[in-house]
Amino acid sequence: MSTTSTAVATHHVPDGLPDRIQHYINGSFVDSVGGETFEVLDPVSNQTYVTAAAGQKADIDAAVAAATVAFNEGPWPRMKPRERARILNRIADAVEAQDAHLAEFETFDTGLPITQALGQAQRAAENFRFFADLIVAQSDDTYKVPGSQVNYVNRKPIGVAGLITPWNTPFMLESWKLAPALSSGCTVVLKPAEFTPLSASLWAEIFEQAGLPTGVFNLVNGLGEEAGDALVKHPDVPLISFTGESRTGQLIFGNAAPMLKGLSMELGGKSPAVVFADADLDAAIDSTLFGVFSLNGERCTAGSRILVERPIYDEFLERYAARASKIVVGDPHDPKTEVGALVHPEHFDKVMSYVEIGKSEGRLLAGGGRPEGLPTGNYVAPTVFADVKPDARIFQEEIFGPVVAITPFDTDAEALELANGVRYGLAAYIWTRDLERAHNFSQNVEAGMVWLNSHNVRDLRTPFGGVKASGLGHEGGYRSIDFYTDQQAVHITLGRVHTPRFGAA
């Protein structure tokens, strides 16, 4: 087992940090009605750097009321697609213009390496640009029955969308929900994760400068069991889009059921990366390392279970562990850093508890604790366990950190059984040169998304979502537009309609 490479431990504090974080309701920054607040830590020092307003039911009520007025009386839902698209493109321009600033804030707030945070800011801009293009190009179905009927689809925004976002890559994932909701003509109430409210606070100014009408965007910070719960239960919010863990998704499902709310939920994952003996081994190692250790391992689509065919198993382990041991862990603001600090001490403790569990469930090849030279902060060395049995907790449970379990297999059937043998089904990664095997395996693996000979490189037009405990519904491309709109069928009679004349006799 080798020692993980570490960058110099420093504590970079970006310029322009706010002295407090407020809600943004009906075009104004406001404190909580009752004055409630919570403290926000940065993950390098684990010290409070700002106090944020903690939303309660009264704050959610005010935000929903503003969004409802903006939807019922304001111009946004009634704008032509091109008019909305112009504003969405201005939002994208503003995000691109300050991507370095956004990345600085995101890195400070989350512990994400600065080079990866910059990429997430740029993806956020692309999300808005994509949906600006999509709503202008969108067409709906029309069906003609000659001489009898014309039938067409009238698409209408549903109303106030409740958006609940996670703490991993928060700014980008907020854009993933905001862009399609706004492009569809909905108004929104955003509840960002309490661990990482900093970058979300920047949306208000971006939207104002782009010309988004007042009341269309509202932001309420706070805890999930307070602000999030109130948003889910609010009778005037017909839609909830949630990204987070599966247990929270179950609670949301139950709380939304009495009102029959529309739900889109992207939940947890324990995704397999299956490496067959005929794979391009160099590419597979590069990809599977990136797939689990990028974003500090705090990613829902991480390939955190690697299944390797037995003939190449030993070579794969040796090369993989050697590379993992050289991953640079350290100051998130250092461009050389590849793995930064985990988001919060609570999450650090959770991940470290799984590392200790793994020491009795597998053979430790790399990592296994705090990196040398980093005595403080939420740092975990990239950790590799081999020979992990399929019933092991580190094989079955989502760790959401820089920890990977590697397991051998002998046959395609065994690989498929291992791949499908967990409660999750978000993503899967298949490495093989055999075209027939690639398609058959991909179509039989229980995952909402499959990548062949690649890590997670996504086309925004495709559906994003999981099966089993990994989610409910799909977003992405037109599926996002479908979620935020009602599709009304309109039937127009062109000729005489034969109608049985009840009662005429």
Phi, psi of 37 (to 5 degrees): -140, 165
Q: Are 345 and 446 in contact (CB under 8 A)?
A: no
Of the chain, the end-to-end C-alpha distance in Å amounts to 93
**Distances 328 to 321, 335, 366 between C-alpha atoms, Å:** 14, 10, 13
From CA 75, how far away is CA 211, in angstroms rounded?
A: 12
Return all residues near 256 (Cβ < 8 A) that are at least 6 apart: 232, 233, 240, 263
From CA 381, how far away is CA 293, in angstroms rounded?
A: 10
Instruction: Please list the residues that pair with 452 across neighbouring strands.
Output: 430
* Catalytic site positions: 266, 300
Virtual CA dihedral for 115, 121, 127, 128, nearest 10 degrees? -150
- From the list 351, 346, 431, 359, the residue with the least C-alpha distance to 397 is 351
Instruction: Dig out the tokens for 322 from the structure.
Output: 């050697």
- From the list 309, 310, 338, the residue with the least C-alpha distance to 325 is 338
From CA 180, how far away is CA 479, in angstroms rounded?
A: 10
Q: Helix H segments across 199-295?
A: 203-210, 229-233, 246-256, 281-293
Pairing relationship of beta strands 363-366 and 383-386 according to DSSP bridges: antiparallel
Grouping H, G, I as helix, E, B as strand and the rest as coil, residue 145 is: strand
- Residue linked to tokens 């950790």: 383
Phi, psi of 108 (to 5 degrees): -65, -40
Phi, psi of 81 (to 5 degrees): -50, -40
**Distances 427 to 159, 423, 494 between C-alpha atoms, Å:** 31, 12, 48
